[in-house]
Amino acid sequence: MHYFSPAEVMQLLEVIPHEKTSKDVLAAAVDVGLRQGKSVIAVKDVPGFYVNRCIGPMATEALGCVQQGVDPVQLNEAMLAFGYPVGPVSLLDEVGIDVTTKVVYNLIGEQPRYLGVRMEGADLSMMKDFVAAGLLGKKTGKGFFDHSAKGKGKGPKPVHPEAQEIIAKYRHPTKDYSNAPIDDAVERVVMRFVLEAVHCLESGVISSARDGDIGAVFGVGFPPFRGGPFMWIDTVGPQVIVDKCRALEAEHGAQFAPPQLLVEKAAKGELFHQPEP
């Protein structure tokens, strides 16, 4: 039973059955969660389960954008405008950069169990430098942002000076997105989460688009008014998403390649949430 921090606040509970877990045990775990007032989904036992498995590529893309010159404060603010309750860079500080580093590296490895190329897009060694420098996030008063008394007040927190030095060290040698529209960076970050959600459905990590939407909304705050990643795809249009992925893949790499399930949906003109007959 995987609760989300802080457990007394977060509404999602992922129940992860083992391949030999009896249906009675699974039902009992779900029942406990429901009586606790949680939204419960059953998730396959893979690294990251469902929500953290999607957060990994999303966090990687956020770091990639920062390394390409996107301002972390602007990226956070733009993601809030998109509808997230917390920006992706602030999320790293909230969770703890040491914890996030372990999660991210746990997702790197050989497919199908691990994510392989789907964790590419940034130099993740930067995270280790943050940890080595004691920039662990909110709990230590400094991470990407300054959480000390001088960093408090109205408006976004400033990027910590020590973080600025590390970011500068990992500045991408050729790609410069410092002057690109911030909505481009938002699209990249959101797309990485959404694509991994589709991969999870395709590989059976989750059993339905409905579970994927519930997990994303209640586990990480995917904008509720957008319905979740699968409802968002349906709203924008599967073919539109495939076309966006192809363009991003051509510019940034195979991490943006659309999952086969998404390609098939687009080709057939189908939605993930089919309307009632």
For residue 161, cis peptide bond before it (omega within 30 degrees of 0)? no
Burial group, residue 92, by CB count within 10 angstroms (0-12, 13-18, 19+)? buried
DSSP assignment of the chain equals: -EE-SSTTT--EEEE---TT--HHHHHHHHHHHHHTT-EEEE--SSTTTTHHHHHHHHHHHHHHHHHTT--HHHHHHHHHHHT-SS-HHHHHHHH-HHHHHHHHHHH-SSTTTS-GGGG-SS-THHHHHHHHTT--BGGGTBSSBB-SGGG-SSSPPPBPHHHHHHHHHT--SS---TTS-HHHHHHHHHHHHHHHHHHHHHTTSSS-HHHHHHHHHHHH---GGGTSHHHHHHHH-HHHHHHHHHHHHHHH-GGGPPPHHHHHHHHHT--SSPPP-
Active-site residue, from 8, 14, 77, 94: 14
Q: Known catalytic residue: 14?
A: yes
Residues marked active site are found at: 14
